[in-house]
Structure 1
Amino acid sequence: MAELKENRANFIEITAHDLPLHCPMPGMVKWNAHPRVFLPIQQQGGVSRCPYCGTEYKLTGPLPSGH
Structure 2
Amino acid sequence: MDSKVRCCAQKLVEVESKDLPLYCPRPPSWDGHPRVFLKIEETGEARCPYCGTLYILKGGALARGGH
Does residue 21 of the first structure (1) align with residue 19 of the second (2)?
Answer: no
Unaligned runs of 5+ in 1: none
Q: TM-score, normalised by structure 1?
A: 0.73
| Residue number in structure 2 paired with 1:12 | 13
Question: 1:17 is paired with a residue of what secondary structure?
Answer: helix
Greater C-alpha Rg: 2
* Cα distance in structure 2, aligned partners of 1:52 and 1:23: 9
| Residue number in structure 2 paired with 1:36 | 35
List 4+ stretches of structure 1 deviating above 2 A: 4-7
| Residue number in structure 1 paired with 2:65 | none
Q: Which has the higher contact order (CA 8 A, sep 6+)?
A: 1
Does residue 53 of the first structure (1) align with residue 48 of the second (2)?
Answer: no
Cα RMSD over matched residues? 1.9
Question: 1:48 is paired with a residue of what secondary structure?
Answer: strand
Question: 1:58 is paired with a residue of what secondary structure?
Answer: strand
Amino acid at match of 1:47: E
- Percent of pairs with identical residues: 47
